[in-house]
Structure 1
Amino acid sequence: MKKLLFSVLFITSMYAFSQETVDSLALKEARYAFVLDSINKSFTYQTGTIELGEGLATLHVPNGFKFLDSQQSQRVLTDLWGNPPSESMGLLFPEDMTPMHDNFTFCVEIDYAEEGYIDDEDAEDLDYDDLLEEMQEDTNATNTERKELGYPTVQLVGWASAPYYDQENKKLHWAKELKFDDADVNTLNYNIRVLGRKGYLNLNAIGDISMLENFNSDRDKIIKSVEFTPGNRYSDFNPDIDQVAAYGIGGLIAGKILAKAGFFAVILKFWKFIAIGAVALFSSFRKKIFGNKKEA
């Protein structure tokens, strides 16, 4: 009889504990959903024609996208995604995407580098396979210092999309596939450069390698959406008064400008992708506890 009573009490107590745990998890999910919803609703997006850099360039927000201005983008990049403070002209999101979306795909950061006029004469002679090998060697060479500074090591796996230079429109794009430490999913680093009179606009797609197909379907309209204003275009270059960059197309792709700025600058460029991974990890953890709402 005592054994039976003990069994009943044990089962009852376990049920009570389980019910308390379920209630606690439900409360946490409700709080999680409320916080994320509050964050996502706190942003004001724009569409149409946007002026960038006080008249430096123009963004025609593509159909199916929305734009987050510089100030709000700083909040996303620094406060939400954990990046060091940096200047950004804004973020371009797919219209159904938000900074803290459970199933985040990608967004595009837009910024400007005034590094001088980039002579593109070397574009036709570049061997992209050789360039890739050089970049892989440079990347591997930084890993010892990365590790010492507490940052994950990174491997340049290869081109996710080989470099392409549009000579007529002075627009360059390429994509690298990166692997950080033992990450399960590789990172996609998709770069678009729009060359101008005194530097270039940088459109940087942020996400993991699984978003490549999605991005490629939108890539052309994203590339076409940005242009320098008259007086700031590549064709407006004046050799008598304008500075010429110390590198060409090959150096721009290989990231030589980052090497000149110092090793820490290279770390900062990769840090954004690490932050995305953290957001994805948090989302994954949530799903393991609460399950996928679509399956309910």
Structure 2
Amino acid sequence: MNIQHMRRGFAVAAACTLSLLAANSATAQQPEEGQDLFQGLNVHDGPGTLRLKTIAEVKLPGECGYLNGTDTSRLMKRLGNPSKGGELGSVLGDHCIAVFEFDPVGYVKDDEKDDLDPDELMDSLRKNTAEANKERAKMGAAPMHIKGWYKKPYYDEGTHNLEWIITGESEGVDNLNVNTRILGRKGVMTVTLITSPETIDQDLPVYRKWLEGFDYQAGQKYGEYRSGDKVAEYGLMALVAGGGAAALAKGGFFKSFWKLIVAGLAAAGAFIKKLFKKKQS
């Protein structure tokens, strides 16, 4: 990947999306016109290995860039997305960005794998988004709306990956939030792919290739569960609904869900679309 080319694309796109970034966070710093959003960040070229602390790693092919957790958090803030520093790393493609975070909730049982009711889950997601919009209104940010499923929730028993894709809209801009949850022994790796409707068909195969290189470290794998390990208080249905209906009442978890909505729905539409159209030209 030509990182210098990517940097020029981000700088041009930032100048075009100041109003969107300001809406995402009341305290976010708006990037100045011509600002290099990668300034001071250590962007690695693939192929290489993205190490997600001592939890997991991702072996990446060429034609991508990747950032460690600290630099990913800095980039998210520069894009106007609220960040508490929980990002473990990110991968940059020609048309998309994948952000990795880990939630140490314990072992999530997959006994609901045959009971993922898409209608019930969509109802929960819309209700949770309505609650998130109340928080956005307090910040003076535009509301977001879920239009429906681009891909209904699917659980892969072989990889222990749970994935779904939501079509959303904010201020008239349609965008996509690709959500993957990789179950582990001690928690769940959350991977959020930020992309757009125009490029998702070519982005998804690239994203799948990245995830093929993902692996938990020894002792962290789902199949290494032992009696006595911490078990999560909720299952697969709650993971899709937003991290657990009961857990949403807890401030930290609600903030995490709200953050993903911001990153996936708000940033994806206008930012990614303008960014990569400029980059390609």
TM-score interval, normalised by the smaller of the two chains: 0.7 to 0.9
One-letter amino acid matched to 1:52? R
1:89 alignment partner, SS class: strand
Q: Report if the CA contact (8 A) 1:78-1:85 is conserved.
A: no
Q: Percent identity?
A: 22
- Is the counterpart of residue 163 in structure 1 residue 153 in structure 2? yes
- Is the counterpart of residue 249 in structure 1 residue 240 in structure 2? no
- Is the counterpart of residue 137 in structure 1 residue 127 in structure 2? yes
CA distance in 2, matches of 1:248, 1:90: 25
CA distance in 2, matches of 1:165, 1:256: 16
One-letter amino acid matched to 2:156? D
Q: Report if the CA contact (8 A) 2:194-2:272 is conserved.
A: no
- Is the counterpart of residue 111 in structure 1 residue 98 in structure 2? no
Q: Kindly state the Cα deviation for residue 56 of structure 1 after the two structures are TM-superposed.
A: 1.8
Could you tell me which of 145, 154, 169 is aligned with 1:179? 169
CA distance in 2, matches of 1:266, 1:123: 22
- Is the counterpart of residue 204 in structure 1 residue 223 in structure 2? no
> Over residues 150-198 of structure 1, what are the superposed CA-to-partner deviations in whole Å (9 max), with x where a residue is unaligned?
2321211111111111112211111111112x23x21211011111000
Mapping of 1:73-112 within 5 angstroms? 73-94=72-93, 97=94, 105-112=95-102
One-letter amino acid matched to 1:259? L
What's the TM-score once normalised by structure 1's chain length?
0.71
> Over residues 53-107 of structure 1, what are the superposed CA-to-partner deviations in whole Å (9 max), with x where a residue is unaligned?
433212111343221122221221113444334221111012xx4xxxxxxx311
1:151 alignment partner, SS class: coil
| Unaligned stretches of 5+ residues in structure 1 | 1-27, 98-104
CA distance in 1, matches of 2:121, 2:166: 12
> Over residues 8-55 of structure 1, what are the superposed CA-to-partner deviations in whole Å (9 max), with x where a residue is unaligned?
xxxxxxxxxxxxxxxxxxxx9xx966x44x846964314345253433
CA distance in 1, matches of 2:46, 2:159: 24
1:205 alignment partner, SS class: strand
One-letter amino acid matched to 1:127? D
2:67 alignment partner, SS class: strand
CA distance in 1, matches of 2:165, 2:53: 29
1:222 alignment partner, SS class: helix
Q: Report if the CA contact (8 A) 1:49-1:58 is conserved.
A: no
One-letter amino acid matched to 1:74? S
| Unaligned stretches of 5+ residues in structure 2 | 1-14, 16-31
What's the TM-score once normalised by structure 2's chain length?
0.75
Bigger relative CO (Cα 8 Å, ≥ 6 apart): 2
The change in CA–CA distance for 1:229 and 1:177 in structure 2 (over 3 A counts) is same
Which range is displaced more, 149-158 or 75-84? 75-84
- Is the counterpart of residue 214 in structure 1 residue 217 in structure 2? no
CA distance in 2, matches of 1:146, 1:41: 30
CA distance in 1, matches of 2:178, 2:280: 31
The change in CA–CA distance for 1:211 and 1:72 in structure 2 (over 3 A counts) is same
2:44 alignment partner, SS class: coil
The change in CA–CA distance for 1:175 and 1:270 in structure 2 (over 3 A counts) is same
| Matched residue, 2:263 | 272
| Matched residue, 1:24 | none
2:195 alignment partner, SS class: strand
1:67 alignment partner, SS class: strand
One-letter amino acid matched to 2:82? N
Q: How many residues align?
A: 246
The change in CA–CA distance for 1:77 and 1:122 in structure 2 (over 3 A counts) is same
Q: Report if the CA contact (8 A) 1:81-1:279 is conserved.
A: no
| Matched residue, 2:8 | none
CA distance in 2, matches of 1:42, 1:86: 15
CA distance in 1, matches of 2:272, 2:50: 32
CA distance in 2, matches of 1:54, 1:267: 24
Normalized per residue, the structure richer in helix is 1
Which range is displaced more, 255-264 or 106-115? 255-264
How much is the aligned-residue C-alpha RMSD, in angstroms?
3.2
One-letter amino acid matched to 2:76? L
CA distance in 1, matches of 2:135, 2:182: 32
The change in CA–CA distance for 1:109 and 1:244 in structure 2 (over 3 A counts) is same
One-letter amino acid matched to 1:231? G
Computing the radius of gyration from Cα coordinates, the structure with the larger value is 1
The change in CA–CA distance for 1:144 and 1:52 in structure 2 (over 3 A counts) is same
1:189 alignment partner, SS class: strand
1:124 alignment partner, SS class: coil
